[in-house]
Structure 1
Amino acid sequence: MARGLKHLTAMDAMFLYVETPEMPMHVSSLMCCTLPEGYQGDYFEDVKALLQARLHLASLFTSKLVQMPFDLTTPVWVEDENLDLDYHVRRMVLSKPGTREQLHALVARLQSSLLDRSRPLWEIYVIEGLENGEVAVFNKIHHAAMDGQGGVAVANMILDITPEPRAVRPPRTRLYRSNDQLGAAEMMSAGLGNTAGQVKKVATVFGQLLAMGSDKVINSISWKALLKSSKAVGVEAAEQSTPPPRERQRFAPTTVFNGSITNQRSVTSFSLDLAELKELGKSVDATINDMVMAICSGALRSYLSDANALPAKSMIGAVPYSMRAQGNTDISNQSSMGYMRLRTDIADPMRRLRAIQESSQAFKQDNAVFKGFALTDFPSVGLPWLLPMMVNFVTRARLAEKAPALANVAISNVPGPNMPLYFAGARLRTFAPVSIVMHGVALNITVQSYNGGLHFGVVACRRALPNMEDFAEDMLAAYEDLKKAIARHHRKLTKEANEANEAGNDALHNGVSSAPTGEKTKSPRAPIKRSKPVLVKVLPKPAAKKST
């Protein structure tokens, strides 16, 4: 018998339907690995052997997609009985000297090509010849198979926490008929059943919304603002009724990143010390996300200023946020998209950081109201026909160059493990994500924390951003500028505190000298110093002595 079919959710399937040669929809990562000291083996063969033993731990490695009859609904995952590991795992060698720039150029070329939909939607490249003796591993997985946090879950399946790979149980003997042998009638029946389930999910969510009660909904959000902002398709979503009104920006200004894209990419990666960045942020009450946004904003401002292309209005970032419930380990897509102002219109780094903190707070408020009710699956009848037609029209008509822009850049932060990991015995030194660009948003900056580092992966359409290494230098310079601005901020606060202290001392001193002659004066008080509160134990008064 055949086991139950697993359909793509409507959100997962969207990444298939909007994919074109110019817009590949796979997400990738670049890992630089240090081989064990004295290693004399063939690392490529070690990687293949490890994957062969662990492919069954994540179904996406052994499953391929099969379209439903007449494309009535979303495709289904079926087991690929003819999985060719030699196709999916490939060896690449950089020519000498094997610099970082050469590595990034190769990754950009690999990122540009589509995955073969007739096979499981993943590829892994073992890249040798780096000048520092390391080995790089570049992997591609289709976004239809997982989101960012799902990628972390998959990485945990194939990576180890020790140099010695852990033993895993071998796959069980299959006792069922492969799903790709099912007939059209069985597939149609499964498709109708899946659509019925999607309708039920939608009804459940609407029922939950109604159960919230009108008072709770009205207190949570201003419906007038919601209707107004919905015309902007989500930019600066519904205004909260409680906080004071804030400045709104319906659309993003037009920049070089807001045109139609080609299939050519430019890529770079670099790392920052997570502890240092976290401590800097903590000193000014800024989160890691605030600091990342400030670095990106500073780099964008610098890069576009040098090209005389900086818009007067603030640029807007498209920021994915997770809708994944705590403890949910399903690797399917469970995220949505919000928009926030990057305050590239502010020159001073410290003032810009404060403005970004305000934008971030507004972003959280705007997206918190219905976060628990966002749909990741919904009836998708007709989507397999409609969406590809729409995307083809947008591409041919070059609408991205004519329509108002919702965002200029996509920025995402994915939390990762804070411990060293190993892949086939080699230690991962860096773990840089490489994501997706689209028509109208030709630049993507994705950040992942790993083992005390904050690893940036930047990808762009090569036509929009040909000088990627220059942009990486701008990002590093923006971080240095931010550090200097925070240091100046602390010096200013210290100076103001000292001046206030001195002014208090002078006032007390002048008060004593100017007292009238013969009048009893109080001794001057020492300047007040803030300190931790001291707990004082109050003892009961002693009983009065009786008179004899």
Structure 2
Amino acid sequence: MNKLSLLDLGFFIAESAASPKHVGGLMIYKRPAKAKVSFAADLYRELLTFTDVKPPFNRIIHFSLTGMPTWQESETVDLAQHVFYHKLRRGKNERQDLYDLVSELHQPMLDRARPLWEMHVIDGLSEARFALYMKMHHACADGVTMMRWAAESLAVTADDHELRPLWSVGRRPNKKRLQQLEEEMTSSLLSDLAGAGKRMLGIGRLAAMLLLESVKLTKNAISLPFVADGNTPLTGQVTPGRQFATTSLSMERVNLIRTRTRSTLNHVALTCLDGALHRYLHEQGIDLQKPITIQMPVNLRKEGEESLGNKIGIIQVELSPPTDDPYVRLRNIGFSLRNVRSMIDSVAPEAIESYTLITGVVGQLAEMLKLSNHLPPTGNTLVSNVPGPREHLYIRGARMEELHPISTLPPGNLLNITLFSYAGQLYFGLIATDELPKLGELSLYIDEAFGELEKAVLDAHQPVA
């Protein structure tokens, strides 16, 4: 049995039919040359033969009235309740048809009486393609962990035809991690007190930063929660029904901007999102007079740590003040992110975890009491970045051409955006409630904002004649 962390428990407490708490990924494949039309259907039937389900894919959540919930391993898992097959019919098998199906599949809560994951094989896509859609409860894994598992289960060459489904690969902690857990379990009272003191010191430092920011003695040490503009279609009470949209950018073009401006991937991506969101809101008749505030997950794992569950914090980041100049927007966002990075590095990870829980509880209470339409949101939207493989991956010789992340909606946010880099492309996965108007247009605006930034950077760095 394994106890849940407070953060993992929070995903169960926050979950409802209107706001399920699972994360997913959509993988689009090209059938191998000369492969049978039944390739995807044959793959589905073969997946069902891998009945030896390994942890954590055999774990069921067990709630107790006397203590913290625990994970309990099931001796048998019926794959027919977890692995499904769909076939799009001719004339209804284009990209938007696929996105509509995935939106429907992403909405329902996972059944807590079973291990909390599903895989869907989607056949019949145009141009000899098929897709795999996977979803797993956020309490089981965060996006970084889930994508690492997906990459480990796939082949790195088209010649490797061995099938390694995610659930058939053992993922128990390695010896180093087991030793670390043993040391943690046998830690002395003095060590516990020292850890608690470190957490309290970090919380105190973080509180001081927030206080200085609130009285405007500092700028962007960390953006304050619950001060974002709530009069936009981006925030409010989360309702049932989902829609999904994507776009992608060439990493070669992104890296050229990074090199010319000495920026990071996050700087460039958030500059595009900031410009796109301002244009989207303008088209909805809203012109913000202050910066957009995003919620941004940060990885709190130590280098090399591969523990299960979640090890993330969520902080608020203020993007650029409204401007029509994309180069200025890039510089403003770079300034914010550098200050946020300095803040994160100056406090203990435990303090960031505690801050995340506190702000999360406030936001969740507002949603449970159906007050999200009336109270200021924690931020305007949530944006996360999950690094992925640089080379193409394969399953049974079929090349994965695209990998789109699909996340969950935090309390008070009707839109969540996840970035994922894969095989030379940077993918933007946009998931929203049905109430958010014209989500597809927002994805187009991201492309346009990137084009504007690219032109501004190249014009500014033209060689002198």
User: Does the TM-score normalized on the shorter chain lie above 0.5?
Assistant: yes
Distance (Å, rounded) in 1 between the aligned partners of 2:442 and 2:292? 16
TM-score (norm 2): 0.85
Give yes or no for contact 1:257–1:442 (8 Å, CA) kept in 2. yes
Q: CA deviation at 1:487?
A: 1.8
Q: CA deviation at 1:471?
A: 1.3
Distance (Å, rounded) in 2 between the aligned partners of 1:446 and 1:390? 20
In structure 2, the residue matched to 1:267 is: 244
Q: CA deviation at 1:372?
A: 3.8
Q: CA deviation at 1:338?
A: 1.2
TM-score (norm 1): 0.73
2:425 matched to 1:453? yes
The one-letter amino acid of 2:30's match is T
Which ranges of structure 2 fall in alignment gaps of 5 or more residues? 170-183
1:18 paired residue among 14, 17, 37: 14
Distance (Å, rounded) in 2 between the aligned partners of 1:390 and 1:272? 33
2:229 matched to 1:253? yes
In structure 2, the residue matched to 1:482 is: 453
In structure 1, the residue matched to 2:439 is: 468
The one-letter amino acid of 2:430's match is V
1:65 paired residue among 46, 61, 67: 61
Give yes or no for contact 2:297–2:312 (8 Å, CA) kept in 1. yes
Distance (Å, rounded) in 2 between the aligned partners of 1:362 and 1:7? 35
Distance (Å, rounded) in 2 between the aligned partners of 1:433 and 1:13? 23
CA deviation map 1:299-325 (0-9, x unaligned):
101111112113111110100000011
Give yes or no for contact 2:300–2:349 (8 Å, CA) kept in 1. yes
Partner-residue secondary structure (3-state), 1:162? coil
Partner-residue secondary structure (3-state), 1:456? strand
Structure 1 range deviating more: 134-143 or 416-425: 416-425
Structure 1 range deviating more: 433-442 or 293-302: 433-442
Give yes or no for contact 1:445–1:457 (8 Å, CA) kept in 2. yes
CA deviation map 1:28-47 (0-9, x unaligned):
00100111111114423424
Give yes or no for contact 1:342–1:359 (8 Å, CA) kept in 2. yes
Q: CA deviation at 1:270?
A: 2.3
2:50 matched to 1:78? no
2:306 matched to 1:309? no
Give yes or no for contact 2:29–2:402 (8 Å, CA) kept in 1. yes
Distance (Å, rounded) in 2 between the aligned partners of 1:363 and 1:245? 7
In structure 2, the residue matched to 1:358 is: 335
Greater Cα radius of gyration, structure 1 or 2: 1
CA deviation map 1:2-44 (0-9, x unaligned):
xxx2122221111011101111000000100111111114423
Distance (Å, rounded) in 2 between the aligned partners of 1:357 and 1:389? 29
Q: CA deviation at 1:150?
A: 1.0
2:5 matched to 1:28? no
Distance (Å, rounded) in 2 between the aligned partners of 1:84 and 1:247? 47
Q: CA deviation at 1:227?
A: 4.0
Q: CA deviation at 1:202?
A: 5.7
Give yes or no for contact 1:316–1:408 (8 Å, CA) kept in 2. yes
Structure 1 range deviating more: 46-55 or 406-415: 46-55
Q: CA deviation at 1:390?
A: 9.2
2:115 matched to 1:120? yes
Equivalent runs, 1:286-435 vs 2, <5 Å: 286-343=263-320, 345-374=322-351, 391=364, 394-395=366-367, 397-435=369-407
Aligned-pair identity (%): 26
Distance (Å, rounded) in 1 between the aligned partners of 2:272 and 2:14? 31
Give yes or no for contact 2:382–2:410 (8 Å, CA) kept in 1. no
Q: CA deviation at 1:267?
A: 0.4
Aligned length: 443
Pair 19,396 (structure 1): closer, same or farther in 2 beyond 3 Å: closer
The one-letter amino acid of 1:67's match is F
In structure 1, the residue matched to 2:88 is: 94
Pair 388,409 (structure 1): closer, same or farther in 2 beyond 3 Å: closer
Give yes or no for contact 1:25–1:143 (8 Å, CA) kept in 2. yes
Pair 201,300 (structure 1): closer, same or farther in 2 beyond 3 Å: farther
In structure 2, the residue matched to 1:543 is: none
Q: CA deviation at 1:247?
A: 10
In structure 2, the residue matched to 1:145 is: 140
2:196 paired residue among 196, 206, 209: 206
